[in-house]
């Protein structure tokens, strides 16, 4: 497929629409080369942090559903990193042509400067904003406008599932982290009490 090409999957409200973006989920991006490098490095740091967090969760008595949600976020972040890191190295541009895998002249971008491929497009309904709405009144609107990919879906599902079903899990984690300190305090108090009793005897 060439850039911008699309075909319907279900009617006119579920399309496969080939686009590439330089930034985050759903096409949001930072400008310039430095913005791209910053975003890529931020993703790598975030993936390392999430991976470390998952290891901590596995060692604790934590709901497997919560761990699965965090793992979805982790997997989605890795997917977008792979795209931005390697896609530009192994494909040439898709502007007005079907890109080639491993072209002779090399890819269109250097390491970590590749674009992320998005393809799922759900223009479920569209209309015009009422004139009385400030700034956007009278202009066209469409829901759902952003084009996204599997990695974006994985991140979004993980985040929204945590918000809806596992908000209280963070309080439990804080309580479990505080518990060892409480146990140490109780042990220390017990030792002091024993020492005092020994002195009295």
- Confidence band, pLDDT 50/70/90 cuts, at residue 30: low
Does 8 score more than 60 pLDDT?
yes
Per the domain annotation, does 53 fall within a domain?
A: yes
Judgement on whether residues 143 and 87 belong to the same structural domain of the protein = yes
Q: Tell me the C-alpha distance between 142 and 76, whole Å.
A: 26
pLDDT tens-digit map of 147-190: 999 999 999 999 999 999 988 776 666 665 555 554 455 545 54
Query: Among all chains, which residue has been given the structure tokens 């393809």?
Result: 119
Same domain, 73 and 128: yes
Same domain, 59 and 150: yes
Q: Write out the residue range of the structural domain in which residue 173 sits.
A: 169-201
pLDDT digits (tens, 9 = 90+) for 50-109: 999 999 988 887 889 999 999 999 999 999 889 888 988 999 988 888 888 899 888 988
Q: Quick one: pLDDT at residue 31?
A: 58
Q: Are residues 139 and 199 in the same domain?
A: no
Copy the structure tokens of residue 150: 């599997």
70 and 156 both lie in a single domain: yes
Query: What is the reported pLDDT for 157?
Result: 95
Catalytic residue IDs: 118, 152
Residues 119 and 82 in one domain: yes
The verdict on 154 and 179 lying in the same domain is: no
Q: What is the pLDDT of residue 188?
A: 55
Position 182 scores a pLDDT of: 47
Whether residue 48 has pLDDT greater than 90: yes
Residue 192 has pLDDT above 80, yes or no: no
Give a three-class secondary structure readout of the chain.
Answer: CCCCCEEEEECCCEEEEEEEECCCHHHCCCCHHHHHHHHHHHHHHHHHHHHHHHHHHHCCCCCHHHHHHHHHHHHHHHHHHHHHHHHHHHECCCCCCCCCECCCCCCCCCCCCCCEEEEEECCCEEEECCCCCCCCCCCEEEECCCCECHHHHHHHHHHHHHHHHCCCHHHHHHHHHHHHHHHHHHHHHHHHHHHHHHHHC
Q: Does residue 1 lie within any of the structural domains?
A: no
Give the span between the Cα atoms of 33 and 40, in whole angstroms: 11
């Amino acid at each position: 497929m060439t850039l911008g090409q699309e075909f319907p999957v279900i009617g006119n409200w579920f399309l496969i629409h080939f686009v590439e973006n330089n930034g985050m989920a759903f096409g949001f991006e930072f400008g310039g080369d430095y913005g791209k490098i910053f975003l890529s490095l931020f993703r790598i740091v975030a993936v390392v942090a999430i991976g470390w967090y998952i290891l901590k969760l596995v060692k604790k008595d934590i709901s497997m559903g919560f761990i699965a949600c965090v793992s979805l976020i982790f997997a989605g972040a890795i997917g977008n990193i792979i795209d931005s890191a390697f896609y530009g190295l192994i494909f040439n541009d898709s502007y007005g042509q079907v890109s080639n895998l491993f072209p002779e002249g090399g890819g269109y971008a250097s390491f970590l400067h590749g674009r992320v491929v998005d393809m799922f497009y759900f223009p479920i309904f569209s209309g015009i904003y009422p004139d009385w709405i400030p700034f956007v009144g009278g202009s066209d609107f469409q829901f759902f406008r952003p084009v996204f990919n599997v990695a974006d879906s994985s991140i979004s599902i993980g985040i929204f599932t945590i918000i809806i079903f596992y908000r209280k899990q963070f309080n439990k984690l804080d309580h479990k982290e505080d518990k060892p300190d409480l146990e140490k305090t109780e042990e220390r108090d017990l030792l002091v009490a024993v020492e005092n009793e020994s002195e009295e005897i």
